[in-house]
């Protein structure tokens, strides 16, 4: 009887093993997990079988949790929160409550369990359970080290010479100082805001070792950081010293754009304050010193950067591992300023560092438009002393990070009567009826909504713009003056841009590029018989540091004037000149009449055509989010047209892209 009973138990356990294996296969077949996720689950279960007190059921629960955690990492989550983990896979497999899961994980030999003091007998395990958050060990390390570094830096505010600071600010903010043309205010009713948020941001960032300057498009982030650099260098010069200030960005394209913006705006500073200010920006990887075929950098905690002030543009694009390594490489005395739009899409890899820092600084409270975050009394005193601006905050946040956030509210690009500006605010606050009303309001001709489900309708609307583009291409080819005058072709290319939420399927990048090329070929504007036809716009998919070309750079195929019959792909340099590269030398690239919204980050276009796919499956719905829509919309400088049905628009505005992360909680303490 006993033997039969034991045999029955064994059979049940074998059945459970088989069921788990079939679940993994089913999940692979339907695309819910990747082969990598299944392999990681098998690895965990193998090690649990070798040395574990768990029964077969417990072992395979740990394995499935590992598969799900790995898949979520592929969806850019840094961790898995157990209390929100119910039925992630298939409805017939029940995991139980978070308490039951915690009990199983506590007995696992592959999981390091931490107490409230972050203590553990053995942290060197593939998985880490801290509270209700389950991490891959490596990503737990990234998050902990980054939080510890930020907390240590924010606990040491800078001591400023108030008298000298006020004198310098008076020079930097003379009647708001002339701004670059693209940032010049255009308030239709002629009214002024009472609070100069740029001035507040400069003062706050100067007094903190970690600061975030965030705002929507056209709020003057570049102008603000130039004034900040001038203030910091001026204060150092008063002390007979000189700061080492460096600029960095996550991509080559973003770095080049910041370099151009800084150079263009520098002349608007008083000449005496322009000395020793950097104009060239590098990628973060180049700044840290990439090591080929290695995840490590030459500059790190043991070998810190030679920098006093580091400014990082487009910080929302920086993922958790890279940001952790960047902070680790900062010397103890350094300041770091993160620039970006907290409401844009987060990084394409795991983490949402910029939004996590902002959430912690605001203690998870929503942004109140035109109101400051919950600064401490010390920060308010500094702002009043330096800026002569008296602020009051709606509540208090006792976290060290509370004084690190500066919000830029006023847009200098969009007037009060701009549909783009109003639509961005409505979408960003989840207001679907208000968004639809703005599209329908004829007072805002700069925003349009086309509910057509036929991509050909969009292609027809694009033809007029491309006819002007290819006409200019032909003229310059005939005159043989492209190398000297070709920048106007790039300007025409930037007049319009198709942005897509996905690469494949209907309304995807590949389909739209193929449709546009086919129609241009029919019109006789291009010759599809040649791969590198004259006028073809291409976008790079990888960096090539030896050529000075970067992922996201856009070039145009034009004749090689020195070699008849040959072509080159021409790119605009930081000096606004052109340089040609032979097609055979190019890194991986693709045609770019259409690009993904992710690839458009850091770019601007006169007219943006945004395409959203129909929501027919759960995976298509997961593609869409408020952040995706907002990012695409705010790439437009003058006009925006949405191609979408009502359901896709509703899903996009309703769904927030919230990533699994414990960083904000660690910063609050």
Rounded to a whole number of angstroms, the distance between the first and last alpha carbons of the chain is 58
pLDDT of 2:
29
pLDDT of 19:
65
pLDDT of 81:
84
- Report the predicted TM-score, pTM, of the whole model to 2 decimal places: 0.84
Neighbours of 524 (CB within 10 A): 8
| Spatial separation of the C-alpha atoms in residues 370 and 219, rounded to whole Å | 12
Over residues 509-530, the mean pLDDT reads 91
Check whether 1 has a pLDDT greater than 70: no
Mean pLDDT of the chain: 82
**438 vs 15, residue with greater confidence:** 438
Q: Give the residue from 295, 17, 331 showing the smallest Cα distance to 149.
A: 331
Q: Tell me: the pLDDT tens digits for 625-669?
A: 889 999 999 899 889 999 998 888 898 898 888 888 999 999 987
Are the C-beta atoms of residues 416 and 636 closer than 8 Å to each other? Answer: no
The pair phi, psi for residue 48, each rounded to 5°, is: -65, -40
Q: Tell me: the pLDDT tens digits for 132-149?
A: 889 999 999 999 999 999
pLDDT of 4:
37
What angle (nearest 5°) sits at the alpha carbon of residue 122, between those of residues 120 and 123? 80
Are the C-beta atoms of residues 69 and 136 closer than 8 Å to each other? Answer: yes
Over residues 590-611, the mean pLDDT reads 90
Over residues 509-524, the mean pLDDT reads 92
pLDDT of 320:
94
pLDDT of 51:
65
pLDDT of 187:
39
| Spatial separation of the C-alpha atoms in residues 332 and 92, rounded to whole Å | 53
pLDDT of 247:
94
Q: Tell me: the pLDDT tens digits for 328-386?
A: 999 999 999 999 988 888 888 888 899 999 999 888 777 666 678 888 888 888 888 88
Q: Tell me: the pLDDT tens digits for 260-308?
A: 888 888 878 888 888 888 888 888 988 998 887 778 899 999 999 999 9
Neighbours of 602 (CB within 10 A): 22
Q: Which two tokens stand for residue 239?
A: 């002390």
Query: What is the b/e burial string over 631-658, where b = at least 16 CB atoms within 10 angstroms of the residue's CB?
Result: bbbbbbbebbbbbbeeebbbbbbebebe
Give, for 667, the enclosing helix (H) or strand (E): helix 663-668
Which spans in 252-376 are helix H?
Answer: 252-266, 284-288, 320-328, 353-361
| Spatial separation of the C-alpha atoms in residues 436 and 449, rounded to whole Å | 9
Indicate the DSSP class of residue 127.
Answer: E
Over residues 431-456, the mean pLDDT reads 88
Q: Which of 2-16, 456-470, 535-549 has the lowest mean pLDDT?
A: 2-16
| Spatial separation of the C-alpha atoms in residues 536 and 527, rounded to whole Å | 10
Check whether 507 has a pLDDT greater than 90: no
β pairing state of 309-312 and 335-340: parallel
| Spatial separation of the C-alpha atoms in residues 411 and 215, rounded to whole Å | 9
Give, for 458, the enclosing helix (H) or strand (E): helix 455-479
The alpha carbons of the chain give a radius of gyration, in whole angstroms, of 27
The pair phi, psi for residue 14, each rounded to 5°, is: -65, -40
Adjacent-strand bridge partners of 556: 537, 570
């Amino acid at each position: 009887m006993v033997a039969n009973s034991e045999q029955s138990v064994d059979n049940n356990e074998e059945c459970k093993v088989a069921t788990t294996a079939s679940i993994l296969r089913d999940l692979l077949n339907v695309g819910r997990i990747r082969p990598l996720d299944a392999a990681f689950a098998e690895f965990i279960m193998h090690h649990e079988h070798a040395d574990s007190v768990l029964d077969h059921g417990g072992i395979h629960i740990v394995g499935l949790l590992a598969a799900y955690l790995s898949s979520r990492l592929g969806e850019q989550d840094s961790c898995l929160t157990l209390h929100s983990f119910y039925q992630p896979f298939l409805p017939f497999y029940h995991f139980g409550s978070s308490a039951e899961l915690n009990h199983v994980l506590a007995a696992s030999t592959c999981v390091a369990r931490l107490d409230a003091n972050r203590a553990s007998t053995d942290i060197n395990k593939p998985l880490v359970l801290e509270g209700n958050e389950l991490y891959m060990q490596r990503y737990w390390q990234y998050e902990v080290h980054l939080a510890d570094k930020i907390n240590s830096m924010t606990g040491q505010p800078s001591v400023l010479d108030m008298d000298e600071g006020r004198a310098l600010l008076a020079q930097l903010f003379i009647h708001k100082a002339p701004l670059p043309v693209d940032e010049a205010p255009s308030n239709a009713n002629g009214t002024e805001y009472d609070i100069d948020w740029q001035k507040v941001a400069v003062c706050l960032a100067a007094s903190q070792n970690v600061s975030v300057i965030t705002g929507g498009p056209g709020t003057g982030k570049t102008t603000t950081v130039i004034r900040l650099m001038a203030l910091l260098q001026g204060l150092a010069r008063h002390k007979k010293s000189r700061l080492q200030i460096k600029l960095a960005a996550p991509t080559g394209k973003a770095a080049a754009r910041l370099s151009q913006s800084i150079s263009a705006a520098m002349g608007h500073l008083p000449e005496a304050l322009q000395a020793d200010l950097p104009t060239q920006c590098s990628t973060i990887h180049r700044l840290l010193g990439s090591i080929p075929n290695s995840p490590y950098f030459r500059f790190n905690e043991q070998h810190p950067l030679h920098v006093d002030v580091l400014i990082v543009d487009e910080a929302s694009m920086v993922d958790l591992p890279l940001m952790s390594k960047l902070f680790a490489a900062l010397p103890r005395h350094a300041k770091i300023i993160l620039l970006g739009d907290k409401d844009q899409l987060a990084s394409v890899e795991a983490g949402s560092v910029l939004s996590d820092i902002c959430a912690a600084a605001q203690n998870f409270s929503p942004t109140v438009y035109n109101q400051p975050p919950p600064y401490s009394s010390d920060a308010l005193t500094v702002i009043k002393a330096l800026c002569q601006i008296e602020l009051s905050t709606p509540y208090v946040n006792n976290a060290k990070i509370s004084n690190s956030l500066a919000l830029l509210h006023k847009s200098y690009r969009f007037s009060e009567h701009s549909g783009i500006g109003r639509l961005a605010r409505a979408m960003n606050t989840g207001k679907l009826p208000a968004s639809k009303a703005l599209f329908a309001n004829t007072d805002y001709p700069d925003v349009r909504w086309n509910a057509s489900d036929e991509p050909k309708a969009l292609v027809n609307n694009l033809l007029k713009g491309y006819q002007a583009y290819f006409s200019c291409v032909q003229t310059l080819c005939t005159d043989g003056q492209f190398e000297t005058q070709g920048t106007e072709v790039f300007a025409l290319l930037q007049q319009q841009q198709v942005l897509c939420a996905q690469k494949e399927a209907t309304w995807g990048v590949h389909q739209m590029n193929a449709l546009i090329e086919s129609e241009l070929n029919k019109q006789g504007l291009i010759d599809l018989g040649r791969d590198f036809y004259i006028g073809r716009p291409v976008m790079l998919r990888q960096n090539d540091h030896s050529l000075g070309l970067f992922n996201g750079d856009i070039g145009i195929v034009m004749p090689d004037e020195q070699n008849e019959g040959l072509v080159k792909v021409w790119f605009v340099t930081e000096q606004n000149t052109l340089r040609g590269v032979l097609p055979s030398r190019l890194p991986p690239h693709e045609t770019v009449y259409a690009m993904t919204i992710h690839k458009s980050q850091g770019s601007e276009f006169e007219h943006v055509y945004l395409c959203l796919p129909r929501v027919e499956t759960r995976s298509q719905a997961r593609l869409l989010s408020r952040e995706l829509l907002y990012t695409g919309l705010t790439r437009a400088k003058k006009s925006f047209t949405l191609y979408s049905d009502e359901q896709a628009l509703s899903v996009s505005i309703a769904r927030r892209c919230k990533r699994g992360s414990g960083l904000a909680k660690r910063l609050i303490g």
